[in-house]
Each structure stands twice: as structure tokens, then as C-alpha cells.
Chains A and B, each alone.
Chain A
Amino acid sequence: DVQLVQSGAEVKKPGDSLKISCKGSGYNFATYWIGWVRQMPGRGLEWMGMIYPDDSDTRYSPSFQGQVTISVDESINTAYLQWSNLKASDTAMYYCARRAKAGGYTWFDPWGQGTLVIVSS
């Protein structure tokens, strides 16, 4: 079974740093892009960026470039999303998802269960 399992909920203060994780299993982790998606409370989905574990090639949405860092440790099949200076506006649910492809098309499936990040003083 292809599965992505994310780390647990976090409560942080403004200015804190944070690294959340997404561990893949049931497939060749190195050869599928892993994407990250933000969902702020009561809002829609926002694509943040993605990473290719085999060579750490990373693509960011301009909206998130410089605000977060996406990284990977291929040896333990885990991708990460990291902040160095959290803001209250970073409060959201964060999902990772595997980018699959066939016949020239790509899509995100499966998704992790989500990691809730709350930033509050």
C-alpha cells in the first residue's frame, strides 16, 4: 500500500522555528516528487512547492519562495517542510502528497493525513 504519514500537530510561538515531516512507504520513494499544500482555517488549498528525492530538485510557488524550505532525507524516505521564523499567519493544516504520472499526465495521490500547525503567542 502506498502511504504518506505526516508528523503530529504542533503549537508554536511567533518567531519559533519548525520542521514537519512526511514519510513515504510502499513505493520507490526516490523517484516520485513530493508536494506540499497549505490549507488555512476555513480556506482552500494552496500549492506551496515540491521536491524530487533522488536529486533534491525543488520547485517553489512564488508565494512561498523564501518563506519556507522544502528538503528531503532519501535514506529514511522522508520529506520535510521547514520554517525559521513562524508567524501567526502560518497557522494552517499542511498536507504532503505524492505526484504520480501516467500517459504524460500528473496528479497528486495519495495525500498524507495532514499536520496542523498553530502559531500563537
Chain B
Amino acid sequence: DIRMTQSPSSLSASVGDRVTITCRASQSISTYLNWYRQKPGRAPELLIYGASSLQDGVPSRFSGSASGTDFTLTISSLQPEDFATYYCQQNYNTPYTFGQGTNLDIK
């Protein structure tokens, strides 16, 4: 299985801050990497697919990038609804493994 390692595991920030979350794959996955946000008590929702493509309806403050086996999710200006847990997932091959999650909370 491909292992996905996210960092940090948790992060405290304030409304308006710029934050970056990183995900590293244990082998090459090209850009078959997706990002999801999970608000407390809710199902996950897709933010980014193909490492850098913004899902329809997702605010432009979210962006994704890739460099080799390293991937980043950047939120340019945190909003109150962004305090949640974020997961990366590789869709390169099955099993489609997730990172362990990054919990973003209010400082």
C-alpha cells in the first residue's frame, strides 16, 4: 500500500492567517492526489483534485501544489468555517489511502 504522511498533525491559527499543510507519498503517485475537509460531525468534502485543481464551488482561498512526492494545501486567508480536519488521499492505485489528517483549530 502507498503510505501518505501528513504534517503537521495539528495546527493552531487565527482567522485571516495563511496556512500550509503538507502530504508526502511513500512512492511516486504523479499528481493523483486529492484534498478533503471534514468539519466536526460532518462528512468529508472535496476541495482539490489532481493535486491542484479546485473543485467547483470551493472558494479560491484554497490552492494545491505538487513537487515530486510532496504535496501542499494552502489556505490563503482562514475563515471560521475552515477550522476543521484536512485529509489528503492518493488515487494513484488501490487501496486509495488517506493521510492521517491535520486538525486545524483556532488559536
Chain B: residues with Cβ within 8 Å of the partner, total of 26
Chain B CB within 8 A of A85 CB: no
Is the C-beta of B105 less than 8 angstroms from some C-beta in chain A? Answer: no
B9 to A: closest C-beta gap in Å: 10
* Main SS at interface, chain A: strand
Q: Which of B36, B45, B91, B100 is close to A106, meaning CB atoms less than 8 Å apart?
A: B91
Query: How many chain A residues touch the partner (CB < 8 A)?
Result: 26
Q: Which residue of B lies closest to A109 (CB)?
A: B46
Q: Are A47 and B44 in contact (CB under 8 A)?
A: no
Instruction: Select which of B31, B43, B55, B98 is within 8 A of A112 by beta carbon.
Output: B43
Q: State whether A108 and B95 are in contact (beta carbons under 8 Å apart), knowing that A44-B100, A44-B101, A45-B87 are contacts in the complex.
A: no
Which residues on the A side are within 8 Å of B1 (C-beta)?
61-62
Q: Are A59 and B87 in contact (CB under 8 A)?
A: no
Q: Verify A105–B44 contact, CB threshold 8 A.
A: no
- Cβ of A103 to closest chain B Cβ, rounded Å: 7
* B34: interface (CB < 8 Å): yes
